[in-house]
Amino acid sequence: MALVVTKFGGTSVGTTERIRAVAERLVARKLAGDDVVAVVSAMGHVTDELVDLANKVCDDPPEREMDMLLSTGEQVSIALLAMAIHALGFDAVSFTGPQVGIVTDAVHSKAKITEVRADRVKQALAEGRIVIVAGFQGITPDGQITTLGRGGSDTTAVAVAAGLGADVCEIYTDVDGVYTADPRLVPTARKIDVISYEEMLEMAASGAGVLQMRSVEFARNHGVVIHCRSSFSDQPGTIVKEADDSMEQAIISGVTHDTSEAKLTIRDVPDHPGVAATVFGRLADANVNVDMIIQNVSEDGTTDISFTTPGTDLARAKRVIAEVVEELGAREWLVDENIAKVSLVGAGMRTHPGIAARMFAALAQAGVNLDLISTSPIRISCVIASGQVEQAVAALHTAFGLDDESVLAETSPACGEGV
Amino acid sequence: MALVVTKFGGTSVGTTERIRAVAERLVARKLAGDDVVAVVSAMGHVTDELVDLANKVCDDPPEREMDMLLSTGEQVSIALLAMAIHALGFDAVSFTGPQVGIVTDAVHSKAKITEVRADRVKQALAEGRIVIVAGFQGITPDGQITTLGRGGSDTTAVAVAAGLGADVCEIYTDVDGVYTADPRLVPTARKIDVISYEEMLEMAASGAGVLQMRSVEFARNHGVVIHCRSSFSDQPGTIVKEADDSMEQAIISGVTHDTSEAKLTIRDVPDHPGVAATVFGRLADANVNVDMIIQNVSEDGTTDISFTTPGTDLARAKRVIAEVVEELGAREWLVDENIAKVSLVGAGMRTHPGIAARMFAALAQAGVNLDLISTSPIRISCVIASGQVEQAVAALHTAFGLDDESVLAETSPACGEGV
């Protein structure tokens, strides 16, 4: 008998038929002898409808009231799912985030979970009931309703699993696991059976959309094992957990890509202390997220600074940079929206030198020009032209033997230089 | 400066346009110097849509989960109304029933308010904000979400007004007050300016649909003055309060009617102690509401028992009576669904004898036959054929001088016999 926390996203509970299917899945789990907690999102279309309503009454709705509004979406889902379980003759009880004791900070629309008081869930489980918990929402210590922002329901599921000491947190989604590359781009991409938190974080940060970084971070910090799997099949998906010896020892876990960013470059900025601090301080003040930052070596007392930012932040970033360029006396600034970031992720990089060189060689052979490069101990990212993303990902996938399941670390050729 | 609690029903907040109109009304009130609390229902269509969803996943949804589901309706309204007020440049804050501290018993779907902890509302008012409260919902001491059943939002408004010691509880509705008769039946019906709790209760109980009995009872028990008025005009409506000398001293306040009931009769039931207790005990066990009960004097050791019950309870009532008739050895039972109840309500009945005789005479003159009669100190009700309800109400309205505003107690003729 295991204690299982399962999470179903908006697509999985998008219609009453799908809610009934989820109910059947949970009941089957209960019948198999497990204690079952389900965390659910709002029905697929509901959040958009609520946002539309808000826009009809207010151009710039206060975030506190948006949280009040949007949190009803999950409340509808949990009630319907509990009812659907009752219709199958089983006992279920639903709890909102506030009821379950998902305590958060007071940053409305992107609150962070600070505590999970799982007593009510534990008691309901002890009474033999299937417990349904609203994802995406919480309550501040002084009783304000909050929402957790993008990917919040995954984080709720992991946090509840941590609070209960669950054996596993299963995240059901519309794909059947984490892949070595996006299967839409690379038909030979294969599902990864087990991956470490660390690699999963790098993959999520560099474009793999299956799991949200926040939930993986939360899982790593609390030692929660995540099983990422499909709502539409019973096949096992991808297990995310602490690295250990039992894991498949691939040098490279996967190739990810991200076409949602834009690149800004400030040319010939005077190279004296505090310049970078000014640029990125001002961007932070304007709430602009910055991903890669590259500053080239100085020449003639000036340098170039480039960075990438999500497309959603681009308009704000441009406003800030236009001001900053003038203040700093830089020559000009440029923006390029037609970029893509291609990344290679693998814990094996630490012990297998030369991966970067092989990566650059493979890209060169495929005729892909590199614009920016940045690295972490287990990731190498290159910015390229967005039109070349498909050939770049496919070339890397092949070059690092990911097309073929038999190519594992022990059989792959070791190379020369370090990264 | 007054402290005003206002309540807007589902029609008044049925669309985003109407929500904006309510926001303007509240802001005007705030600008006039009042402290403003608004209690709102779910948008008109929302509750039905939620019930439809529930029926698609479960034939007989648990009431706890229905409360979880339905309470989202008001939560959407309060968030949107708070946003609409922000759009006008004013500060508003919304609270759910649980947040505001509407504590109820645990009878899901028809919970009763046991306590209102209005501290959060008081604090928000002290900060100069317009406060929006979700009607119809509350929370049990152990944290379950409940709903208050039919007319629940009115009761929330009165309870919040009581908790705050508000000067008045304004209930906005789609009619502009309480009338001496239903204006759809009696074109000469006139709006009542002031009415006592006691008369209002009798009118509500006998068919006047404007205010729910529960909210009037709550108002009487806590001395809350209700102002029942139209969402679509600024004209004053009807004030409901403790009877005092300032009130218009009409003998009769109004004529009400109710066509939603059915009559059951048990014929020739042995007349020994405990028979009525058996009949009505069994009906209560089956959750059948009973309105009028008439037992005629015994003849030959048997008697007839008649009672009326809402049409919604008729199927259950018939099942119970079929069993009871057999057990008690009564001759037969009859059901009549084509009935109407016509009532005359007025505190003046206590001091003006002969009202009943005048009522019966007026109905006889209009050719209306009486089936059952029952009375309270300030009400006389007659059951008649449903096809005659219009002529009966009109005849009584005229006979008691309600057509003409100048006919008040001091000018009306005193009559002979008591009721």
Contact present, A289 and A310 (Cβ < 8 Å): yes
Q: Domain A265-335 class?
A: alpha beta
Q: For residue B69, list chain A residues with Cβ-Cβ distance below 8 A.
A: 75-76, 79-80, 83
* ipTM entry: 0.82
- Decide yes or no: CATH 1.10.150.240 for domain A3-174: no
Choose among B100, B92, B166: nearest CA to B129: B92
| pLDDT < 50 positions in chain B | 406-419
Alpha helices in B88-171 (DSSP H): 97-100, 119-126, 152-164
**DSSP readout, B52-83?**
HHHHHH-SS--HHHHHHHHHHHHHHHHHHHHH
CB contact under 8 A, A71 and B75: yes
Q: Is B56 on the interface with A (CB under 8 A)?
A: yes
Cα distance between residue A301 and residue A314, in whole Å: 29
> What pLDDT does residue A247 have?
63
For an interface test with B, the pick among A57, A133, A140 (most B C-beta atoms closer than 10 Å) comes out as A57
Question: Based on the number of CB atoms within 10 Å of its own CB, is B385 exposed (0-12), middle (13-18) or buried (19 or more)?
Answer: middle
Q: Do the chains contact at A72 and B75, CB–CB below 8 Å?
A: yes
* Residues 6+ away with beta carbon under 8 Å from A198: A220, A243, A347, A378
Chain B: nearest CA to A76, how far in angstroms? 5
What pLDDT, on the 0 to 100 scale, is given for residue B133?
98
- What pLDDT score was predicted for residue A150? 79
User: How many contacts does A have with B, using Cβ atoms within 8 A?
Assistant: 113
- Backbone phi, then psi, for B131, in 5-degree steps? -105, 130
Q: Is A143 an interface residue toward B (CB < 8 Å)?
A: yes
Domain ranges of chain A: 3-174, 265-335, 339-411
Q: In CATH, what number does B246-419 get?
A: 3.30.2130.10
Q: Exposure pattern of B262-292 as b/e (b: 16+ CB <10 Å)?
A: bbbbbebbebeeebeeebbebbeeeebebbb
State the nearest Cα–Cα gap between A52 and chain B, in angstroms: 10
Do B62 and A86 lie within an 8 Å CB cutoff?
yes
Q: Whole-angstrom Cα distance, residue A232 to residue B303?
A: 67
Q: Report which secondary-structure segment, H or E, holds A48.
A: helix A46-57
Closest-CA residue of chain A to B94: A65
Cβ atoms of B156 and B9 closer than 8 Å: no
Q: What is the DSSP letter of A179?
A: B
Residues of B in contact with A65 (CB under 8 A): 79, 82-83, 86, 94
- A87/B19 CB distance under 8 A: no
- DSSP letter for each residue of A270-298: E--TTHHHHHHHHHHHTT-----EEEPPP
Phi/psi for B93 (5° steps) reads: -140, 135
Cβ–Cβ below 8 Å for B57 and A20 = yes
Mutate to test the interface with B, among A43, A68, A131 (most CBs of B within 10 A): A68
Kindly report, residue by residue over B86-136, the tens digit of the pLDDT. Answer: 999 999 999 999 999 999 999 999 899 999 999 999 999 999 999 999 999
Residues of chain A below pLDDT 50 = 406-419
Virtual CA dihedral for A223, A225, A228, A229, nearest 10 degrees? -160
Closest CA to B145 of A128, A72, A84, A87: A72
Task: Report CB contact under 8 Å: B16, A57.
Answer: yes
Distance CA A392, CA A368 (A): 7
* Cβ contacts of B390 within 8 Å, gap of 6 or more: B185
CB contacts, 8 Å: A80 with chain B: 53-54, 57, 69
Residue B225 and residue B168 in contact, taking contact as beta carbons nearer than 8 Å: yes
A212 touches chain B (CB under 8 A): no
Q: How far is A358 from A255, CA to CA, in rounded Å?
A: 14
Residue A120 in contact with partner chain B when CB distance is under 8 A = yes
Q: How far is the CA of A268 from the CAs of A89, A294, A302, A303, in angstroms?
A: 71, 14, 5, 5
Q: List all residues 6 or more positions away from A331 whose beta carbon is below 8 Å from its beta carbon.
A: A267, A268, A269, A302
Instruction: Determine the residue of chain A that is closest to B76 in CA distance.
Output: A69
State the smallest CA–CA distance between residue B91 and chain A in angstroms: 10
pTM of the shown model: 0.84
Do B65 and A82 lie within an 8 Å CB cutoff? yes
* Rounded-to-integer distance, Cα A215 and Cα A224, Å: 10
Residues of chain B contacting residue A59, judged by C-beta atoms under 8 Å apart: 87
Give me the half-sphere count of Cα atoms (radius 13 Å) on the Cβ side of residue A137. Answer: 29
CATH superfamily of the A339-411 domain: VC0802-like (3.30.2130.10)
Kindly state whether B61 is in contact with chain A, defined as any CB-CB distance less than 8 angstroms. yes
